[in-house]
Amino acid sequence: MNIQYVQGDCIFTRINKLTKQYEYLTENIDTDVIIVGGGVTGAILGYYFNKNNINAVILEKSRIAHGSTSITTSLLQYELDSNAMMLKSYTSIDKIIRSYELGIKALDEIEEFIDKYGNTCDFKKVDSFLYTAKDIEKKELEEEYKVRNEAGLPVEFIEKGNNPFSFDVKAGVLSKGGGAKFDPYRFTHNLLKVSCEKGLRVYENTEVVGVNYSENGVTVETIYGHKVKGKIVIVATGYNTELFTKRAFGTKSTTFNIATRPINNIEDIYNGVNVRDNEVPYNYIRTTGDNRIIIGGEDINFLPDIFNEELCSKSYYKLEQRLKNLFPKLSIEIEYKYCGAFASTQDNLGFLGKDPKNSKLWYCLGYGANGILFAMLGGIMLSKLYLGEVDEDLKLFKVDRFDS
Ligand SMILES: Cc1cc2nc3c(=O)[nH]c(=O)nc-3n(C[C@H](O)[C@H](O)[C@H](O)COP(=O)(O)OP(=O)(O)OC[C@H]3O[C@@H](n4cnc5c(N)ncnc54)[C@H](O)[C@@H]3O)c2cc1C
């Protein structure tokens, strides 16, 4: 079934001009690694495999970065969707701390890429703020602060008395330098540009419609009949995994976003910090390079026909009111409204690695709120794995970790 996972005026494909169009596949080709999916995840994989001198091809069924990459808020932060104490029943504090550390490693890798190849995507390192406006949740945030502080992460506990923000805060954890933000569309295109200059091949409008495994490798068939032969295939198709496996990955919901028109001096008022509240479902806020505010939230269970206008309008309206309540002094006009599927897992981590029953089928699925950072880790660890180096941390993201 062709399910629609993104809907509305997707901000990042609206505010950006097309930087490059890639050709579609018109012949049979050979490679070593076939990456299916040309979103930010596929581009990250392409970059790391290419960097490690591994022959790789990316096949994208429609256009580069037009899936959830076109709407991801791109709050890049090491913390997970849920607080450590909530996650404890699905995993361990040690694993949670390790995930935080890996998140920081992924953030550093993005910064390294930007430093080396230029900041073409409004990348900015910022603090990250998790807060509540409810007295009753104060203890929960104190616990989160304690976990992170004891792990040596640079955090500050915020209360009414030291609240640097204009909005009401009863308690909050401010992660110093714990976050970043960028334009995911431009980041994806720059990753591909850099990698294609060094030999990566990318095909747009080239849907993979069949997969056949043999003793020596794998052959994928594309929509107009041309085939790509490789040693392994990596699924970087976001929420479209049915072609490759019957395995169910994560629980899908729909999340809603609105983005304002550019606002003067927004960074002065707001410090440019990535913000998330402690509601269930939570709301998340960031500013963009051209001084807009994006606010997201209002998550509901995902249904393929959920994109109905009335429901969307209600959710967008609630987000707009929330934003206006938070920043009553700002002149807020909404320019973009969009929503899309989002998948979460019990331990808030994505899936990276080999299929347990098929060593030629690999996954890089950045599920959870930190999808982009997980994709970075996937790029690093899977390219090493291809070269025979097993990273111990891959265990955290094992595809079959929830199988009983
Ligand atoms: C509203 C929203 C907010 C989010 N906010 C954040 C955030 O703040 N931080 C964060 O880290 N993550 C966030 N996420 C998650 C984030 O979207 C993902 O981590 C990331 O964008 C996923 O990129 P992707 O490349 O895996 O998926 P996609 O961008 O969807 O790319 C998958 C690609 O695969 C292609 N494809 C599918 N099937 C085939 C096939 N058979 N053949 C060829 N190509 C195929 C699709 O066309 C698509 O282009 C958010 C998600 C949503 C929806």
Domain ranges in the chain are 21-71+185-244+348-397, 251-343
Res 272: pLDDT: 83
Res 10: pLDDT: 92
Which whole number is the average pLDDT over 230-244?
96
**How many angstroms separate the CA atoms of 4 and 239, rounded?**
10
Topology (CATH) of 21-71+185-244+348-397:
FAD/NAD(P)-binding domain (3.50.50)
Which whole number is the average pLDDT over 240-268?
90
CA of 239 to the centre of ligand 1 (A): 7
CA of 216 to the centre of ligand 1 (A): 30
Amino acid at 98: R
How many CB atoms lie under 10 A from the CB of residue 357? 10
CA of 331 to the centre of ligand 1 (A): 32
CA of 65 to the centre of ligand 1 (A): 8
pLDDT per residue as tens digits for the range 346-394: 999 999 999 999 999 999 999 988 999 999 999 999 999 999 999 999 9
Identify the residue whose C-alpha is closest to ligand 1 atom 41.
208
> Which of ligand 1's atoms lies nearest the C-alpha of 63?
49
Sign of CA dihedral 86, 88, 91, 93: positive
Res 306: pLDDT: 60
> Which of ligand 1's atoms lies nearest the C-alpha of 43?
25
Which whole number is the average pLDDT over 146-174?
95
Res 171: pLDDT: 97
DSSP symbol at 275:
E
Question: Using a 6 Å CB cutoff, which residues line ligand 1?
Answer: 36-42, 59-62, 66-69, 71-75, 207-208, 236-238, 240, 243, 255, 257, 296, 340, 342, 366, 369-373
Confidence of residue 18 (pLDDT cuts 50, 70, 90): confident
Which whole number is the average pLDDT over 192-203?
98
Which of 129-133, 175-179, 203-207, 307-311 is least confident? Answer: 307-311
**How many angstroms separate the CA atoms of 338 and 336, rounded?**
7
